[in-house]
Amino acid sequence: MRITIEGARVVDPASGRDETASLHIDQGRIAAIGKAPDGFRAEETIDAKGLVACPGLVDLCARLREPGFEYKATLESEMRAAVAGGVTTLACPPDTDPPLDEPGLVEMLTRRAQSLEQARVHPLGALTVGLKGERLAEMAELAEAGCVGFFQANAPIADTNVLLSAMRYAATFGFTVWLRPQDMALARGGIAHEGEVATRLGLAAIPAIAETVAVRTIVELMGATGARVHLARLSTAQAVAIVAEAKAKGAALTCDVGVHHLHLSDRDLADFDSQCNLVPPLRDPRDRDALRKGLADGTIDAVCSDHTPVDDDAKLVPFAEAEPGASGLELLLPLALKWGSESGLKLPATLATVTNRAAQVLGVDAGTLAPGARADICLFDPKYPWVVTPAALASQGKNTPFLGFELTGRVVRTLVGGRVVHSA
């Protein structure tokens, strides 16, 4: 199939391209930008005047809820949500039921996702068996089955010896270890950031040092093992500073932030809104501002949706009893655009955090519009205002702190491998 996307503002952060041009697709790949190749005859032409064409978004964390949590969402519903949000490549964490700690489970998930022919799914295997933090999973076999890294999701390893062994093993085989940094003892029982708001509301608290102590430990273990580590969902200013220091010394360290944490803080808990019950907890406004700055200056590599669809029953309860998590796949682009605009960034710099920089973290072939690359493309209207309502979301999870908010920027079409998989 030959397609020409005509008249779009083509933004490719990986190459620095930002120009109004036509984009030509042939047999699922980018054939050319600007002048069509000799002999090229488009079978379909998409009028994209006023739209931005960028690489399909790369999301570092989207829970698809299969296997085990089909009552919250299904692979079909969340894959539709992904492409509706312009996401063409995503990593799914291993905290399914059962966890992704066996090659057969990974292969089944990958096959199911491929059969739907929408976004590309890259599973993260469990770092330890059952995510229990006791015995290492069979990383080599999981890697052969298609895992691009190994993650403990929201279940930090309490035994530092186990973590040391995991990092040694991963370093030996060149695997990347993904960790959400949190000291389990310091965070035990907590549901909100330790500070004035948690005290006033009577909520059990998680101190910032629960994260920073964990980051310090991980950095020390990296030095001892040579492991490559990705820190998932940073939430504190001090953690950002530690990462900057470690990167300056040459550590093979990357990190991301959840998109909700760029805009919200613990002040948003004031009315006990259970939609703001997230993991990690929303922190102090100064932490939020440090995350925004760290993402802008490159200390934080990427922003992800941390998509976690939750059923209504699990949210329509008091804050302390609510299941944490928020839907995010379809909000990733507009919330990233909002952060970029408020930070004074140019569009390519903003889009880099959800395209090529995220693809580099995953180590996959994605996140660019370079000629020859796979034609995974997001076409969006950067000025389109829309209100976040349950009906506006394709995800089965309608849980988000942004319900009722007006956002700007909406995906018009999404192409994966040169096929249109979403059209608004």
Q: Which amino acid is at 33?
A: I
State the burial class of residue 158 (Cβ atoms within 10 Å of its Cβ: 0-12, 13-18, 19+).
middle
Q: Which two tokens stand for residue 166?
A: 């995991």
Residue recorded with tokens 């710099």: 349
Considering 101, 268, 306, 376, which one is annotated as catalytic?
306
C-beta separation of 361 from 355 below 8 A: no
Q: Work out the end-to-end distance of the chain between its first and last CA atoms, rounded to an integer number of angstroms.
A: 21
Q: Which residue in 233, 334, 340, 331 sits closest to 275, CA to CA?
A: 331
306 annotated active-site:
yes
Query: In angstroms, rounded to a whole number, what is the distance separating the alpha carbons of residues 170 and 142?
Result: 12
Pairing mode, strands 52-55 and 57-59:
unpaired
Query: In angstroms, rounded to a whole number, what is the distance separating the alpha carbons of residues 137 and 133?
Result: 10
Catalytic residues, by residue number, are 306
